Structure formats: C-alpha cells, structure tokens
Amino acid sequence: MSEVQRYPVPADLAATAQINAERYEALYAESIEDPEGFFDRQARSQLTWMSDQWDRVSEVNMARGEVKWFAGGTLNACVNCIDRHLPERASQTAILWEGDNPEDSRAISYQEAYEAICRRTAALVAKWTGLGFVHGVLNTDNLSVLGLTIDYGPYGWLDRYTPGWTPNTSDHGGRYRFEQQAAVAQWNLAQLGNALYLVVEDAPALQAILNDFETHYRSCWQDEMAAKLGLSRFEPRDEGLVSELLGLMEEAQVDPTLCFRHLADVPAMEAVRTGAPRGMALTEALAPCFYDDAPLDHTRQGPWEAWILRYGARLHADPGDPATRRERMNGKNPAIIPRNYLTQQAIDGLAAGDEAPLQRLLAGLSRPYAPTAEDVPLLGRRPAWAEAHPGCTALSCSS
C-alpha cells in the first residue's frame, strides 16, 4: 500500500523562481524536438563565453565512452560560477593568497593584481635603465606577472651610451631599443589589461592603473638616478643635472657603467669649496670611461668641467659626508657587469675546453660592487677587437 502526497511550493517562494511549470514544460518539449538547437541557444544566453565558436553542440562516442559538449568553445568557470554574480567586477577576487602562516592570507582583486603587476614592471624597467641593460626582445610573453622577465636571447649592455641602440639583429625598427623599454613594457601591460577586461568589464578602472605606469616608472627612475649620483633624494632641479650628464655621455659615447662608477672619485665638492682642482686634474678620474676614438681632450674638457662644478654644488647642498656618499655610490654603481664580450669569451673558452674564463666571470659577478685584484680583466671598457666580433655587440633571437 502506498500513499502519494504533494507538497505545493509556497506562493511567495514560487514568485521568485526562475521558471514556472508551464515554461518548464515548453522548454522540455523544445529540447526533445530540437536538442542541438535548444542547447546551443541556452548556452549562448545563459553562460558567459570567452569564445562561442564551437564546432558542434555535442559529440557522443559510446564505444569509447566519450561525450563532448561545445567542442571548440572556451569559457572561464570562475566567471560563470562566481564573478558574474558580483556587482563590481574590478573588485572581485582574482587570487586567494596564503603565506606560510595560515593567518597571513588575503584576497587580491583583479584590480589590485593588475596594479601590482604594473608597478612591479615599472620598477624593474627603471632598474634596467639605471644599469644600462637592454632586454632585446621584450614581447608580451617575455614579461612575468611577478615583475620579472624571461628569454634573454638578444640581450645587451650599453658599452657606449647610445639610447637608440638595440642588441637584437632582427629588430630593424628599434622597437626594443634602450630608450624605448618603458614604453614597450607599458604597451605589453595594456595587452594584459585587454585580457582582464573580458573578466572585469571595467575599462576606466584598468585604464587608470595603466596610466599610472608612466608616473611610477618616472618616480623609480628618479630614485635610481639620485642613488647613482650619491644624492639623498631626487629633487625637481635634478632633472636638468641628470639630463645634461646623459647628453654629455651620449655625445662622447662614454661607457655609462664606468662613468657612474668613477663619478665617486671625482673631487666635485672639493672643487666647489676650494676652487681647485681645475682642468684635466678635475676630470682625470673619468678618463677610463672614454673610448680611444672619442677621448676626453681639450674639446670636451669645458662642458664636462662645467657639469662637474654644477654637480659639486648640488652635492654641497645635500646632507652627508663625502666618505659615506662615496661608499654609497660604489654600493649602487657596479664595477662589473656581464658584458656581452665577457660572456662570449666564456663561451669560446668552454668550446675550446677551457673553463677559466667562465669561472673568472662568475667569481667577478659574485662581487660586482667590490672587485678584487683578480677581477682586473673584467673592469675595463669593451676592447676594440670586440667591436665586430660575433656575439660581442649584437645577437639574434636564437642566440
């Protein structure tokens, strides 16, 4: 014996339902009559797709026990299950982060993540610029959301200060040249923003973050320049000081690494305070920065001496004693960098069965700010023989 009982849905609850019995029956009949068309329409109207260009709605292979739905289409499960129900997508959670301590955790929104990525990238490129590094192939897939990069194929260092230089032999238009790196990084971040827009759907929020990249990059770059010049902070008046120095470096094609390193040995403050030294005695500490085809001679002496005196006056107005400043500058400006010709020497040595050049380079790079007598072969300008030697000035993407 059995008893059938029906429990009607309360009227107030039924009023909030997404579908009633009559509509359900109609949809059911539609699904039986045209299953392909029915599920195609439902999928397009009820789900948020990143790509709705599927080949077939369903594909069943009973022999293999396989059932495929919407093959060729792409959707994000998080968007459909969670994100689409949030009123403001820019503030929705993108990452649930947890540290080693379970209590040290937080939710990071898409907007926060994008802002952090943009700021990390700006800081990274500013440090590159300060060191004279050129990535060479700064494509979108060579930037990491961690604020790092990968794929250092055609990389290079400015042996001569040439802002328009790129080490990439296939970069005929100079897209990835030294002076263009911040702009290219911002373009790459714009493409990330375009991808995030599919989820966030808040263009103004993303654009505001992207627009801030240039401001943050400039701030980081100014901090780098102040530290390299031994200044406690960058002030508006330092724009001209730095710009003039870079202009002098470009005109004479000096080695920027050596120039910043040897600035710590220039008696700029003494010259301002006592009126001496002057002439070649004032600039002789910078002589190792100049190449033989563009020496520091009487034709260049005047502009460089004028800049050093201006620099000395700026240092005189900056707090701190000279000895501490010199130590701080030497801790910021490396004496040793992995110049292309040095790495090529290591490669050539290994090819000949000699590990000594590699071991010497690795030892020197372990102490770039405090070289020893053993590092003397790593300290100078790029030698003349390396100007046209394969692998020493320009590289291909497959290098």
pLDDT along the chain (399 residues), means of 10: 70 76 85 86 80 77 70 70 54 70 79 93 96 92 86 88 93 93 96 89 92 97 98 96 98 97 94 88 94 89 96 93 93 96 95 96 97 96 90 75
Is 399 exposed, middle or buried, given 0-12, 13-18 or 19+ CB atoms closer than 10 A? middle
Q: How far apart are CA 271 and CA 70, in angstroms?
A: 77
The pLDDT assigned to 282 comes to: 92
pLDDT of residue 19: 78
Residue 324 belongs to some domain of the structure: no
CA dist 52 and 43 (Å) reads: 9
Query: Same domain, yes or no, for 209 and 235?
Result: no
Residue 291 has φ and ψ, to the nearest 5°, of -80, 160
Q: What is the per-residue pLDDT for 81? A: 56
**Containing structural domain, residue 27:** 21-75
Looking at the structure, tell me whether residues 238 and 197 fall in a common domain: no
374 in a structural domain: no
**Residue 149 domain-assigned?**
yes
269 within some domain: yes
pLDDT of residue 63: 64
Residue 312 lies in a domain: yes
CA atoms within 13 A on the CB side of 11: 0
The residue out of 184, 204, 226 marking a domain boundary is 226
Residue 94 lies in a domain: no
Same domain, 237 and 197: no
Residue 103: predicted pLDDT: 76
pLDDT on residue 99:
74
Quick one: 115 and 220 in the same domain?
yes
Residue 262 falls within a domain, yes or no? yes
200 and 113 part of one domain: yes
Which pLDDT score, from 0 to 100, does residue 37 have?
85
Do both 116 and 222 map to the same domain?
yes
Q: What is the pLDDT of residues 237-264, one digit of tens each?
A: 999 999 999 999 999 999 999 999 999 9
Give, in order, the Cα–Cα distances in Å from 121 to each of 192, 253, 290, 360. 12, 28, 32, 32
Exposure on the CB side of residue 135, measured as CA atoms within 13 A: 25
Asked if 393 and 167 count as a contact pair (C-beta separation under 8 A), the reply is yes
Burial of 157 (0-12, 13-18, 19+ CB in 10 A): buried
Residues 235 and 218 in one domain: no
141 is catalytic: yes
The pLDDT value recorded for residue 319 is 83
Q: Residues 221, 122: one domain?
A: yes
Give the residue from 175, 196, 226 where a domain finishes: 226
Choice among 12, 100, 141, 321 that is catalytic: 141
Nearest one of 131, 83, 87 to 368, comparing CA atoms: 131
Q: Which residue type occupies 268?
A: A
Residue 392 lies inside a defined structural domain of this protein = no
What is residue 91's predicted lDDT score, i.e. its pLDDT?
65
Residues 222, 243: one domain? no
Same domain? 214 vs 234: no
- Are both 199 and 243 inside the same structural domain? no
Last residue of a domain, one of 319, 351, 384: 319
Residue with tokens 């540290």: 99
Q: How many CB atoms lie within 10 A of CB 28?
A: 11
* Token reading at 47: 């789900």
| Predicted TM-score of the model (pTM) | 0.75
Total count of domains within the chain: 3
